[in-house]
Amino acid sequence: MLAVKTLPLKSIIFRRVVRLMGNQFEISVVGINPHWADERIDEAIAEITRVEKLLSAFSDDSVVNNINRNAGVKPVKTNAEIFRLIERSLQISELTHGAFDITYYSADKDNSGVNSTPNKNTTISYQNVVLDTKAQTVFLKEKGLRIGFAANSKGYAADRAKYILQMQGVSSGVINAGGDLLTWGLQPDNEPWTIAAADPDQKTQPFANIEISNMAIATSLNTGKYTAAINKKCTDAVNTKNGFPVSEIKSVSIISPSAELADAMATPVILIGVNAGLYLINQLNQMACVIIDDHDRIYTSKDVSIAN
């Protein structure tokens, strides 16, 4: 019989809150030595800061800025980390029929300094991002097309910080990235992490007792800003005649082993609605979701059970 690894009896949670990537991050590690915990949290913060700089589209020397600057001009050689992130992003776009999309349009200024208008044939779509795996290049096919990682950079940074912490011997912890949670290991009492334990501010949620040890959960709220996107993009992607109508959703929480994937999938489920969202999540391995509609009715994927 295999022994279950437990934490030392005197283990406690060491927490630090810091503003990173435009969000409030709370990094928690389980241990017994405050100095050790501080050093580990410093390393996690350094990694999140590195990711923020790496994915910046504003720094003149950033790879992302270089890709955008050469849209419609030529392919751009990238480093392996950014190339793989773009590749995964395009796979999620394909999976969600474009509901998730890292591309957008940014007007270039003409010689007089006035923003140019997009060409009527300009298509803002992930399908206009061309990857060459062998050469490790990225090419945006149309001028004015841009890529950005606002929808999944927070989750990716959390995944990277967790990796760094684990490599430094942190066997249990939580990264709270603006309310999105990534956990591993056990609580100091050797119980699994739940949503309420990982983030006490969410203890009033109807699904606060769901176990999320070694998982990530990302929540997206429908603030009304998605209405245009629902009408413009997703009515083509989702055929309402086949039983997948767009429904009014208040919030979507995605549970996944990867914070990057959970972060990326939350908003697309809002866009495609309850039925199509549940259908999509139920087809994917190691992924689950909780949807709350505008009448506070709760819908869960097949792998989630909520006690009354």
What CATH number belongs to 63-147? Answer: 1.10.3980.10
User: pLDDT exceeding 70 applies to what percent of the chain?
Assistant: 83
Residues 12-55+153-202, CATH architecture: Roll (3.10)
Q: For residues 228 and 153, give the distance between their C-alpha atoms in angstroms, rounded to a whole number.
A: 23
Side chain identity, residue 181: L
Q: Domain 216-300 falls in which CATH fold?
A: T-fold (3.10.520)
pLDDT tens digits, one per residue of 118-174: 555 667 899 999 999 999 999 999 999 999 999 999 999 999 999 999 999 999 999
* Angle at which helices 259-272 and 274-282 cross, to 10°: 140
Do 12-55+153-202 and 216-300 fold alike per CATH?
A: yes
Side chain identity, residue 62: S
Q: For residues 255 and 217, give the distance between their C-alpha atoms in angstroms, rounded to a whole number.
A: 4
Lowest mean pLDDT segment, chosen from 48-57, 109-118, 249-258, 299-308: 109-118
pLDDT of residue 280: 95
Residue 51, judged by CB atoms within 10 A of its CB (0-12, 13-18, 19+), counts as: buried
Domain ranges for the chain, please list them. 12-55+153-202, 63-147, 216-300
